[in-house]
Amino acid sequence: MNRIMILLVVLSLGVSSQQITDSQRLFTIAVSRVQHLHILAQRYFGNFESSLGPDEKRQLNKIFLQDFCNSDYIISPIDKHETQRSSVLELLLVSYRLVESWEVPSRSLAALSRDQISGKLTELKTGLQLLIRTNQEAAFVEGGVALGRFEDYDQRPDQNLRRNYELLACFRKDMHKVETYLTVAMCRLSPEANCTL
Amino acid sequence: MTDCTRLKRLLGWVLLLLISAVFECSSNSPPGKPVFKDCHSPDKETFTCWWEPDPDDGEDTTYRLFYEKDQEESRECPDYHTAGKNSCFFDRNHTSIWVDYFLTVVAFNAFGNASSDIFKLDVVDIVKGNPPENVTVRLEFDQDSPTIHVYWNPYVIRSNYGWLTTKYQLRFKEEDGNWTMQNAGLLSQFRLYNASPGKQYTVQVRCSIDNGKWSEWSSSAFIQIPKSEPKQQRFWIPVAFFSAIPFFAAVCILYIKWKFIKQWLLPPVPGPKIKGVDVHLLKSGRSEEVTSALLINQVFPSVTPWKNQVEEYLVVRDDNLLIFDGLGTNGVIISSKFHSEANINEESNVENNVDHKEEAQILDYFVEINEPGFVDELNFVNAMETEKVQSINDLKVVPLENSSYVDIPKKDVTVQDMRPGDYSTVQDIRGECIILEKQSNTSDSKNTDMNRHEEERLPDDYTKVKEVKGDHIVLLQDPSCGNNGQYTDCGNHKSPHPMMEKGGVYADFLHNGYVDNISTTPVM
């Protein structure tokens, strides 16, 4: 009887460690992908900003009072304390929703249609789905994510400029959010005590 | 009196100067516009901003920073002192990330105020680390090659837990050379391999948080690589020298004993030996004795050459028509083993390649004619190379140049082929009769047996020739007819071979007189 118990414990440990290593591997992949997306987002925004004239810059500087990001309706941790307090599953779910909210728009918007951003987002989303499944037993209800108000782009040239600016700024912000959440979640699962990776 | 006046004037000037100095320290006009210098966050939790006041401002000017974020009301800076003069420090409680801040600095004095331009920032975008501390270099030897091991204090913040991702970059240079950049990854150490001996290296490190801005370069670390040890070189020279001696000795021995070694290493291959044949005799040219050993001792029946030499040609006309007119007299050699499809066999010998080409040319020439019967002829031409025609040996189709004949060379009449005992020799053709020779009994017993057997049984494939009629027809005897020494004695009843009726059997009249009735396909 004792032996059976020991065997079961060892087996369950083995299985869970296997799950953990699988999870870590998936996390590593997801984190590297989102880092790449973040770098791309930074590059796009940087290029856009450097192409602006001083007047345009001043004009754009004044945009602040409205929420202009599409993903603002998605409630996400906004500082370190909140982020570290959230569970791994919550972080994964928020990341999933953020990535999904950009999947469709990145296909149709000119500012984001380069470098197969949409494809990369889809891949990342798939990876996150896998991670969510391995990190929970309950069924994950996919879909039903409201895409929010995504206006079509305005034809006025100044609006065009503003819209592009907003889009690129929001995209960069959201990618950074996902990167942060996933990095914290990955660290939580790793055996090191104070992971600085 | 003049001294007093001078003194008073001097005092007056001094007072004036003092007063004016006093007046300069305090402003007499509104302050100038301050300008934001820089803001950065070292840990994505707090941040600091610095501004530059207008240089003309008096010392009594005060500066106040106001900020707005997230549609909230304007607030004032919580901490003006922690980060030094003209700065504002936002602690954890006052910092939100992924939110836009709009900062303004206002300068106040007795005469008015002046606001700076609005400075917009998001904390995550201004993240910039402090330069790495405690950069240390150490010399290591990796398989006798000098390596510089650089390490520094990792950039840690309190309770990080994955909140920050720090990556490092280092740069190094030799004494007075140019800097070489090197990405150092996420770890707080790095190794530089293959450092040049005898040089001094300078190393610096910087870091970047979350792929943000790079920090300043750390303080330099220096290291001197010692010169390479000559002992190592000295070691190899005597080793090389001493190993050369046995090498040369081996070469000498090899040279002296070359023949012996050659004998041992590559023994001569024994040549082929045929019993009874002396190779030297062969070389000297006495062929009869040699060939006598080669030949199986049997007496061959003598052969009378044909009186009428049959010329065996395929007559080919230039106007793309194959005419096999005189085939009756010519006799077409038909193989019993036809290939039904044209098949240039690539397995033939090299020496036949030339013939192949020529054959191919002939075939190409022939192919223009689309008669199925002809294809068989073509196949014959081909089949010559690939299949041994049963009753023909060593025949080669040698196309004559500049002629449309295909010449089938005659065999050497003097060399007799061994024939199985089933064949009979044609002794003579007299008019319409073919006289076949009886087998002689002078041969050894084995042969006589064969002869006897040959008389008694004829294979079913073969039919005796009864009569030759004209140029086109050979009458074959009914197999039911008895065996006689004189074949012509068989009854006069005509029981011609069915094939005959169709216009002639194209029998093969070989120059050595054998008749072989092979299954034929009528060509014409």
Please state, in angstroms and as integers, the Cα–Cα distance from residue B355 to each residue in B229, B238, B319, B344, following that order: 75, 68, 23, 11
Give φ, ψ of A190 to 5 degrees.
-80, 155
Q: Which of B43-57, B356-370, B470-484, B497-511 has the highest mean pLDDT?
A: B43-57
Contact A61 B161 (CB under 8 A): no
Interchain pair B156, A42: CB under 8 A = no
- Picking from B290, B287, B300, the residue whose alpha carbon sits closest to that of residue B416 is B300
Q: Is residue B324's pLDDT more than 70?
A: no
B333 against B475, higher pLDDT: B475
ipTM of the shown complex: 0.78
Greatest mean pLDDT among A83-92, B328-337, B431-440: A83-92
User: Are residues B98 and B122 in contact, defined by beta-carbon separation less than 8 angstroms?
Assistant: yes
Most confident of B145-154, B298-307, B483-492: B145-154
**What is the C-alpha separation between B112 and B87, in angstroms, rounded?**
21
Amino acid B291: pLDDT: 65
The predicted model scores a pTM of 0.53
Closest CA to B124 of A28, A79, A95, A35: A79
pLDDT tens digits, B280-314? 666 776 666 656 666 665 566 666 655 555 555 65
pLDDT of residue A5: 87
Rounded to 5 degrees, φ, ψ at B265 are -80, -45
B98–A176 CB contact, under 8 Å: yes
Q: What is the pLDDT of residues B96-132, one digit of tens each?
A: 888 888 999 999 888 888 898 888 888 888 999 889 9
- For CA atoms A157, A160, A161, A162, the dihedral sign is positive
Mutate to test the interface with B, among A32, A69, A80 (most CBs of B within 10 A): A80
More reliable by pLDDT, B437 or B124: B124
Which residues are B101's β-sheet partners?
B69, B121
Q: Which residues of B touch A173 (CB under 8 A)?
A: 98, 122, 124
Residue B385 has pLDDT above 60, yes or no: no
The CATH number corresponding to A1-149+158-189 among 3.40.640.10, 1.20.1250.10, 2.40.40.20, 1.10.275.30 equals 1.20.1250.10
Nearest Cα to B117, choosing from A58, A83, A176, A2?
A: A58
**Cβ atoms within 10 Å, residue B448:** 15
Look at residue B171 in the predicted model and tell me its pLDDT.
92
The residue of chain B nearest to residue A193, with distances taken between CA atoms, is B161
Dump pLDDT digits (tens) for B17-69: 777 665 556 667 888 889 999 998 988 889 999 999 888 888 888 899 999 88
DSSP secondary structure letter of residue B94: G
How far is Cα B423 from Cα B517, in angstroms, rounded to an integer?
11
Tell me the chain A residues in contact with residue B164 when contact means C-beta distances shorter than 8 Å. Answer: 196
CA angle (B25, B30, B34) in 5-degree steps: 90
- Domain boundaries of chain A, sorted by first residue: 1-149+158-189
Q: How far apart are CA A190 and CA A49, in angstroms?
A: 38
Which among B44, B98, B161 is the nearest to A195, CB-wise? B161
Coil, strand or helix: which one is B103? strand
User: Among B83, B77, B73, B74, which Cα is nearest to B63's?
Assistant: B77
How would you label B39-62 residue by residue, b for 16+ Cβ within 10 Å and e otherwise?
A: bbbbbbbbbbbbbebeeebbeebe
Which tops the pLDDT comparison, B284 or B339?
Answer: B284
Chain B residue nearest residue A83, CA to CA:
B163
pLDDT average, residue stretch A83-94: 88
Reading the block at residue B405, the tokens are 């004949």
8-state DSSP, A79? S
In angstroms, the Cα distances linking B349 to A22, B155, B355, B385, B400 are 65, 81, 10, 9, 21
